[in-house]
Amino acid sequence: MGIKETAKALEGIGFREIYSMEKLERQKGSQSEDRKRLLEEHFSSFRDCTKCDLHKSRTQVVFGDGDPYSPVVFVGEAPGEDEDIQGRPFVGRAGKYLNKKIEEVLGLKREEVYITNVCKCRPPGNRKPTPVEIRSCFPYLKKEIEIIQPKVICCLGATAGEGILGKKLSITKVRGNVYPYPYDPKIKVLLTYHPAYILRNPAADREFVEDLGKLKDLIG
């Protein structure tokens, strides 16, 4: 019996729709086009954002990047000098360390996860973004998360955690903890250290690896 006859026979005994691998691949392709297109439209909507003073000193807005179908979204603080120049998040030293750990612990390439920041513009001199800057940028991150619908948001450092959970926290006390995302409680929020902190405090690497191990279990 050929493929068409087999499909017909299966439909005859109650299967509703028979998909060929080709059709599934095409469907997957068009879905990933969808999220990609939605993200591109979203990014175009704030490419020229002037909601806070960071626009005065930035080179460009730094959007998130990676796989829009990733089960995990990593959220950092804000672009640094390298990111501001290149227009991509986590491309400097901290980013290289993060990529290495994602490969080693999760067994994934950077392009297979999604990476973004709470603040999309570089604060001058790499200072921490202010609460006003974080608040004015948050709707952009919220929409990014709505489009991607990850299983887990992994917050890198206190600023990311505070932006996502909307409350003050001490990262050394809460790292490794998991909370529901306030805007969509089925999404889990895992808190861990910022990679730049680990580069300054190499002893924290062990805990970071432990947290990424937890992340691996959460994404399944």
Query: What's the residue count for the chain?
Result: 220
Rounded to the nearest 10 degrees, how much is the dihedral formed by the CA atoms of 54, 58, 60, 65? -70
Picking from 116, 118, 113, 23, the residue whose alpha carbon sits closest to that of residue 69 is: 113
Q: Which residues contact 44 (CB under 8 A, 6 or more apart)?
A: none
73 binds ligand URA (CB under 6 A): no
**Residue 63 near ligand URA by CB under 6 A:** no
Instruction: Give the residue, chosen from 64, 66, 68, 80, that forms a contact with ligand URA under the rule CB under 6 A.
Output: 80
Map the footprint of ligand URA across residues 112-141, applying CB under 6 A.
117
Of 35-43, 82-90, 161-169, 197-205: span binding ligand URA (CB under 6 A): 82-90
Cβ 57 to ligand URA shortest distance, Å: 16
Rounded Cα distance, 115 and 121, in Å? 15
Q: Does 79 bind ligand URA (CB under 6 A)?
A: yes
Range 190-194, long-range pairs (CB < 8 A, 24+ positions): 190/152, 190/153, 190/154, 190/155, 190/214, 190/215, 190/218, 191/155, 191/161, 192/154, 192/155, 192/156, 192/157, 193/156, 193/157, 194/76, 194/77, 194/94, 194/156, 194/157, 194/158, 194/159, 194/160
Chosen residue from 66, 68, 76, 129 binding ligand URA by CB under 6 A: 76
165 binds ligand URA (CB under 6 A): no
The verdict on 77 binding ligand URA (CB under 6 A) reads yes
Q: How far is the CB of 97 from ligand URA (least distance, A)?
A: 10
Task: Give the integer Cα–Cα distance in Å for 161 and 73.
Answer: 13
Contact criterion met (CB below 8 Å) for 122 and 78:
yes
Looking at the Cβ atoms of 90 and 208, the one nearer to ligand URA is 90
List 61, 72, 78, 164, residue binding ligand URA (CB under 6 A): 78
Distance CA 46, CA 81 (A): 20
Task: Kindly write out the interface string for residues 86-115 of this chain, putting x where it contacts ligand URA by CB under 6 A and - elsewhere.
Answer: ---xx-x-xx--------------------
Question: Residue 219, interface with ligand URA (CB under 6 A)?
Answer: no
Instruction: Compute how many residues bind ligand URA; rule: CB under 6 A.
Output: 13
Residue nearest ligand URA by beta-carbon distance = 76
| Comparison of 12 and 202: residue with beta carbon closer to ligand URA | 202
Query: Interface with ligand URA by CB under 6 A: which residues?
Result: 76-80, 83, 89-90, 92, 94-95, 117, 196
